[in-house]
């Protein structure tokens, strides 16, 4: 029996370093086979339910294309068109969908609700539940980021990666991308720098866990309010979202939510990623971004379209990592 089969994929911390290594190996293998046109029908006749409470381009399509390439089928479900909208519980939804198919995946980013909802589904589901992004974690994104850095750099020990993005817990916005990155990258011996203005700290438990991971695997974790310190000598920079001044009032990311200028973010508009800041980094620095990027406010076109940007390779790897996780958790008999 596979050590992966039937497990939930909510947080990469639930998987050992060796298990994450296996996910990467399978991702690289699937990427090679995709490029060569080698069929990979590992999930033939399997059905996966994809529940989205919010919009998506990369996540939805990497899962849908991915399972089709594995010989299975995805059912896209907009939560607003399900009985969830009338209050049907996570328990009932999970039990019913478990009886219809082979896996359930869900994106629910609302602060204080998303992770709880996924864990409640996982408690009742008899098939794997996969996290397509919640308020706390975005494991598929972090895994694709890791794959991309391994692909470009190889051994990641002592590689300086600067995550120039963090939302304060008090701001009630999803912190899933920086949390997943700051927890995962030290497990590969990377020197992780988390930079943000004062008052935008990640929760203490995240930094404590990231530092424990670094101590175990030989990486480091530095938290700074100094943006220049983050860029200086960095091999990889991941600056995101400081320029996104317009946000909805509730912290929700649902379609049609009222948009207002976010004064708190606007106060930090100078944190935009510029060519001048990139010049402080290593000469071969790589610019990464989970996307979508706010080209007006958070990064100069000359950076995101420039020679240091690897954002499309990073997005492409969402497909291969998604296929690897589905194959391991749903297949692997």
Question: In 53-113, where does DSSP find H-type helix?
Answer: 58-69, 90-100
The least CB distance from residue 228 to ligand CP, in Å, is 27
Nearer to ligand CP, 61 or 224 (CB): 61
The least CB distance from residue 215 to ligand CP, in Å, is 29
d(CA 314, CA 289): 8
> Hunting for tokens 């706010």 — which residue is that?
294
CB atoms within 10 A of CB 52: 19
Nearer to ligand CP, 42 or 49 (CB): 49
Site map 37..76 versus ligand CP, x via CB under 6 A: -------------------xxxx-----------------
Q: Is 110 in the site for ligand CP (CB under 6 A)?
A: no
d(CA 66, CA 40): 10
Q: Which of 290, 299, 325, 330 binds ligand CP (CB under 6 A)?
A: 290
Nearer to ligand CP, 109 or 214 (CB): 109
Q: Which residues pair with 239 in a beta bridge?
A: 164
Is residue 174 a contact partner of residue 107, using CB atoms and an 8 Å limit? Answer: no
Q: Which of 141, 162, 180, 327 binds ligand CP (CB under 6 A)?
A: 141
Q: Is 162 in the site for ligand CP (CB under 6 A)?
A: no
In the structure encoding, which two tokens stand for residue 264, read together? Answer: 């708190």
Q: Is 254 in the site for ligand CP (CB under 6 A)?
A: no
| Residue with smallest beta-carbon separation from ligand CP | 59
3-state helix, strand, coil in the chain (%, to 5): 45, 15, 40
Helix, strand or coil for residue 223? strand
The least CB distance from residue 323 to ligand CP, in Å, is 16
Helix, strand or coil for residue 183? helix
The least CB distance from residue 57 to ligand CP, in Å, is 4
Q: Is 321 in the site for ligand CP (CB under 6 A)?
A: no
d(CA 45, CA 52): 22
Nearer to ligand CP, 78 or 229 (CB): 78
Determine phi and psi for 282, rounding to 5 degrees: -55, 150
23: CB partners within 8 A, 6+ apart:
15, 143, 321, 324, 325, 328
Nearer to ligand CP, 54 or 191 (CB): 54
d(CA 127, CA 118): 13
Site map 115..134 versus ligand CP, x via CB under 6 A: ------------------x-
Q: Is 213 in the site for ligand CP (CB under 6 A)?
A: no
Nearer to ligand CP, 142 or 214 (CB): 142
| Number of residues counted as binding ligand CP (CB under 6 A) | 8
Q: Which residues bind ligand CP (CB under 6 A)?
A: 56-59, 133, 141, 290-291
């Amino acid at each position: 029996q596979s050590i992966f089969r039937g497990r939930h994929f909510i947080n990469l911390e639930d998987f050992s370093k060796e298990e994450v290594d296996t996910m990467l190996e399978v991702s690289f293998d699937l990427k090679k086979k995709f490029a060569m046109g080698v069929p990979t029908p590992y999930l033939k006749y399997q059905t996966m339910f994809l529940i989205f409470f919010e919009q998506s381009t990369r996540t939805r399509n990497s899962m849908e294309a991915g399972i089709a390439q594995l010989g299975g089928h995805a059912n896209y479900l907009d939560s607003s068109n399900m009985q969830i909208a009338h209050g049907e519980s996570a328990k009932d939804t999970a039990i019913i969908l478990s009886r219809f198919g082979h896996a359930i995946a869900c994106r629910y980013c609302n602060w204080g609700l998303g992770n709880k909802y996924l864990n409640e589904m996982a408690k009742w589901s008899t098939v794997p539940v996969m996290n397509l992004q919640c308020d706390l974690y975005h494991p598929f994104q972090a895994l694709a980021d890791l794959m991309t850095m391994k692909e470009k750099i190889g051994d990641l020990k002592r590689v300086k990666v600067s995550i120039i993005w963090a939302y304060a817990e008090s701001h009630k916005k999803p912190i899933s991308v920086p949390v997943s990155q700051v927890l995962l990258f030290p497990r590969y011996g990377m020197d992780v720098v988390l930079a943000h203005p004062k008052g935008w700290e990640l929760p203490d438990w995240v930094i404590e866990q990231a530092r424990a991971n670094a101590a175990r695997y030989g990486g480091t974790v530095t938290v700074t309010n100094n943006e220049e310190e983050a860029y200086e000598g960095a091999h990889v920079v991941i600056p995101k979202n400081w320029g996104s001044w317009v946000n909805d009032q509730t912290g929700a990311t649902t379609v049609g939510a009222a948009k207002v200028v976010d004064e708190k973010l606007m106060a930090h508009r100078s944190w935009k990623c510029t060519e001048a800041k990139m010049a402080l980094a290593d000469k071969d620095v790589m610019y990464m971004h989970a996307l979508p990027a706010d080209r007006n406010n958070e990064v100069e076109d000359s950076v995101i379209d420039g020679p240091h940007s690897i954002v499309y390779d990073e997005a492409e790897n969402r497909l291969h990592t998604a296929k690897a996780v589905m194959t391991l958790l749903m297949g692997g008999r």
